[in-house]
Protein backbone atom coordinates (compact mmCIF):
# COMPACT_ATOMS: atom_id res chain seq x y z
CA UNK A 1 0.00 0.00 0.00
CA UNK A 2 1.32 3.42 -0.88
CA UNK A 3 1.49 6.03 1.88
CA UNK A 4 0.15 9.58 1.50
CA UNK A 5 3.57 11.26 1.17
CA UNK A 6 4.69 8.88 -1.57
CA UNK A 7 1.38 9.38 -3.34
CA UNK A 8 1.75 13.19 -3.26
CA UNK A 9 5.32 12.93 -4.61
CA UNK A 10 4.10 10.72 -7.44
CA UNK A 11 1.27 13.13 -8.31
CA UNK A 12 3.69 16.10 -8.37
CA UNK A 13 6.03 14.16 -10.66
CA UNK A 14 3.20 13.39 -13.10
CA UNK A 15 2.14 17.04 -13.08
CA UNK A 16 5.66 18.23 -14.00
CA UNK A 17 6.55 15.45 -16.42
CA UNK A 18 6.57 15.83 -20.20
CA UNK A 19 5.91 13.12 -22.77
CA UNK A 20 8.90 12.26 -24.94
CA UNK A 21 9.64 9.63 -27.58
CA UNK A 22 12.28 7.08 -26.60
CA UNK A 23 14.24 4.55 -28.68
CA UNK A 24 15.24 1.27 -27.01
CA UNK A 25 18.99 0.63 -26.87
CA UNK A 26 18.84 -2.56 -24.80
CA UNK A 27 16.22 -4.54 -22.92
CA UNK A 28 16.06 -7.57 -20.70
CA UNK A 29 15.07 -10.56 -22.87
CA UNK A 30 12.03 -11.26 -20.68
CA UNK A 31 10.57 -7.87 -21.67
CA UNK A 32 9.67 -9.43 -25.03
CA UNK A 33 8.10 -12.52 -23.44
CA UNK A 34 4.29 -12.51 -23.47
CA UNK A 35 4.25 -14.66 -20.32
CA UNK A 36 6.42 -12.17 -18.40
CA UNK A 37 4.61 -10.55 -15.48
CA UNK A 38 7.62 -8.99 -13.77
CA UNK A 39 9.18 -5.55 -13.96
CA UNK A 40 11.94 -5.46 -16.55
CA UNK A 41 14.71 -3.07 -17.47
CA UNK A 42 14.73 -1.10 -20.70
CA UNK A 43 17.49 1.36 -21.56
CA UNK A 44 16.71 4.04 -24.12
CA UNK A 45 17.55 7.37 -25.71
CA UNK A 46 14.90 10.06 -25.37
CA UNK A 47 14.60 13.58 -26.72
CA UNK A 48 12.10 16.16 -25.43
CA UNK A 49 12.88 18.42 -28.41
CA UNK A 50 11.31 16.06 -30.97
CA UNK A 51 8.68 18.29 -32.54
CA UNK A 52 8.42 16.97 -36.08
CA UNK A 53 8.50 13.70 -38.02
CA UNK A 54 12.02 14.56 -39.22
CA UNK A 55 13.32 15.00 -35.65
CA UNK A 56 11.67 11.68 -34.71
CA UNK A 57 13.40 9.94 -37.63
CA UNK A 58 16.73 11.45 -36.51
CA UNK A 59 16.22 10.20 -32.94
CA UNK A 60 15.36 6.72 -34.20
CA UNK A 61 18.44 6.67 -36.45
CA UNK A 62 20.68 7.72 -33.54
CA UNK A 63 19.05 5.13 -31.30
CA UNK A 64 19.41 2.36 -33.87
CA UNK A 65 23.08 3.25 -34.37
CA UNK A 66 23.80 3.10 -30.64
CA UNK A 67 21.68 -0.05 -30.16
CA UNK A 68 23.79 -1.83 -32.79
CA UNK A 69 26.95 -0.79 -30.93
CA UNK A 70 25.50 -1.98 -27.60
CA UNK A 71 24.51 -5.32 -29.18
CA UNK A 72 27.96 -5.72 -30.72
CA UNK A 73 26.68 -5.85 -34.30
CA UNK A 74 28.39 -2.58 -35.27
CA UNK A 75 31.79 -1.18 -34.37
CA UNK A 76 31.78 1.20 -31.43
CA UNK A 77 32.58 4.78 -32.37
CA UNK A 78 35.53 6.08 -30.30
CA UNK A 79 33.57 9.09 -29.04
CA UNK A 80 30.78 6.78 -27.81
CA UNK A 81 32.92 4.01 -26.31
CA UNK A 82 32.40 5.07 -22.67
CA UNK A 83 28.69 5.62 -23.19
CA UNK A 84 28.18 2.24 -24.89
CA UNK A 85 30.15 0.53 -22.11
CA UNK A 86 27.91 2.30 -19.58
CA UNK A 87 24.73 1.06 -21.29
CA UNK A 88 26.12 -2.47 -21.40
CA UNK A 89 27.05 -2.21 -17.72
CA UNK A 90 23.58 -0.93 -16.80
CA UNK A 91 21.95 -3.80 -18.69
CA UNK A 92 24.26 -6.42 -17.17
CA UNK A 93 23.63 -5.08 -13.65
CA UNK A 94 19.89 -4.58 -14.35
CA UNK A 95 20.32 -0.96 -13.23
CA UNK A 96 16.95 0.53 -14.17
CA UNK A 97 15.92 3.10 -11.60
CA UNK A 98 14.00 5.61 -13.71
CA UNK A 99 16.92 8.01 -13.90
CA UNK A 100 17.80 10.24 -16.84
CA UNK A 101 21.35 11.29 -17.69
CA UNK A 102 23.03 13.35 -20.40
CA UNK A 103 24.63 11.66 -23.40
CA UNK A 104 27.78 12.46 -25.38
CA UNK A 105 27.43 15.59 -27.53
CA UNK A 106 27.54 13.53 -30.73
CA UNK A 107 24.10 12.12 -29.92
CA UNK A 108 22.39 15.50 -29.74
CA UNK A 109 22.28 18.42 -27.35
CA UNK A 110 18.74 17.68 -26.16
CA UNK A 111 19.01 13.88 -26.12
CA UNK A 112 19.06 12.00 -22.83
CA UNK A 113 19.57 8.43 -21.67
CA UNK A 114 16.90 6.81 -19.51
CA UNK A 115 17.06 3.69 -17.38
CA UNK A 116 13.49 2.44 -17.22
CA UNK A 117 11.95 -0.23 -15.01
CA UNK A 118 8.84 -1.26 -16.90
CA UNK A 119 5.80 -3.27 -15.98
CA UNK A 120 4.54 -5.40 -18.87
CA UNK A 121 1.13 -3.69 -18.78
CA UNK A 122 2.85 -0.40 -19.72
CA UNK A 123 3.76 -1.82 -23.13
CA UNK A 124 1.47 -2.32 -26.13
CA UNK A 125 0.40 -5.96 -26.16
CA UNK A 126 1.92 -6.24 -22.66
CA UNK A 127 5.37 -7.03 -24.02
CA UNK A 128 8.19 -5.22 -25.78
CA UNK A 129 7.50 -5.45 -29.50
CA UNK A 130 8.66 -2.01 -30.62
CA UNK A 131 11.91 -0.12 -30.23
CA UNK A 132 9.88 3.10 -30.12
CA UNK A 133 8.34 3.93 -26.74
CA UNK A 134 6.86 7.03 -25.21
CA UNK A 135 8.18 7.98 -21.82
CA UNK A 136 7.52 10.74 -19.39
CA UNK A 137 10.43 12.64 -17.90
CA UNK A 138 10.36 15.08 -15.05
CA UNK A 139 12.60 18.00 -16.09
CA UNK A 140 13.08 18.89 -12.41
CA UNK A 141 14.13 15.38 -11.33
CA UNK A 142 16.77 13.64 -13.44
CA UNK A 143 17.58 11.20 -10.61
CA UNK A 144 15.92 7.92 -9.68
CA UNK A 145 12.20 7.71 -10.42
CA UNK A 146 12.35 10.84 -12.61
CA UNK A 147 11.39 8.96 -15.78
CA UNK A 148 9.01 6.18 -16.71
CA UNK A 149 7.13 4.62 -19.60
CA UNK A 150 3.70 5.99 -20.44
CA UNK A 151 0.92 3.47 -20.62
CA UNK A 152 -0.08 2.76 -24.24
CA UNK A 153 -3.57 4.20 -23.89
CA UNK A 154 -1.94 7.60 -23.24
CA UNK A 155 0.21 7.50 -26.38
CA UNK A 156 -2.53 8.80 -28.64
CA UNK A 157 -3.72 7.83 -32.10
CA UNK A 158 -1.61 5.65 -34.35
CA UNK A 159 0.27 3.74 -31.64
CA UNK A 160 -0.18 0.37 -33.31
CA UNK A 161 1.12 1.56 -36.69
CA UNK A 162 4.05 3.43 -35.12
CA UNK A 163 5.06 0.39 -33.10
CA UNK A 164 4.72 -1.91 -36.10
CA UNK A 165 7.01 0.39 -38.11
CA UNK A 166 9.80 0.03 -35.55
CA UNK A 167 9.92 -3.62 -34.38
CA UNK A 168 11.99 -4.90 -31.47
CA UNK A 169 14.35 -6.60 -31.68
CA UNK A 170 15.81 -4.80 -34.66
CA UNK A 171 15.64 -7.08 -37.72
CA UNK A 172 19.06 -8.17 -39.00
Q: What does the pLDDT read at residue 18?
A: 85
**Alpha-carbon gap, residue 18 to 107, rounded angstroms:** 20
114-127: string of b/e by CB count within 10 Å (b at 16+)?
Answer: bbbbbebebbbeeb
| Mean pLDDT computed over 97-125 | 86
Q: Give pLDDT, residue 164.
A: 79
Q: Identify whether the C-beta of residue 131 lies closer than 8 Å to the C-beta of residue 27.
A: no
Instruction: Return d(Cα 68, Cα 146) in angstroms, integer.
Output: 26
Kindly report which listed range (62-66, 102-106, 151-155) carries the lowest average pLDDT score.
151-155
- Give the number of other CB atoms < 10 A from CB of residue 88: 18
Give the pLDDT confidence score for residue 133 in this predicted structure. 87
Angle at the Cα of 73 from the Cα atoms of 118 and 136, rounded to 5 degrees: 25
**What are the sequence ranges of the domains in the chain?**
24-165
Q: Above pLDDT 70, what percent of the chain?
A: 84
Q: Lowest mean pLDDT: which of 2-6, 30-34, 45-49, 70-74? A: 30-34
Q: Which residue has the higher pLDDT, 159 or 99?
A: 99
Return the higher-pLDDT residue of 153 and 88.
88
Neighbours of 65 (CB within 10 A): 17
Residue 55: pLDDT band (50, 70, 90) is very high
Confidence of residue 139 (pLDDT cuts 50, 70, 90): confident
DSSP assignments along 130-167, one per residue = BSEEEEEE-TT--STTSEEEPPGGGS-TTHHHHHHHSB
Mean of the pLDDT values across residues 116-131? Answer: 77
- Tell me if 21 sits within 8 A of 137, measured CB to CB: no
Residue 155 has pLDDT above 70, yes or no: no
45 burial via Cβ count (<10 Å: 0-12, 13-18, 19+): buried
Listed residue (101, 107, 105) closest to 142, CA to CA: 101
Whole-structure pTM value: 0.84
For residue 22, CA distances in Å to 8, 37, 48, 97, 150 come to 26, 22, 9, 16, 11
Amino acid sequence: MIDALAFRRRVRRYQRAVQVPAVVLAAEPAASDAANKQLRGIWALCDPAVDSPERLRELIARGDRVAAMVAGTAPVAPDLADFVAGVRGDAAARRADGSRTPVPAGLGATTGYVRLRVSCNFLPGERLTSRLLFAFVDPAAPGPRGAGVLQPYLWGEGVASLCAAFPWPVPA
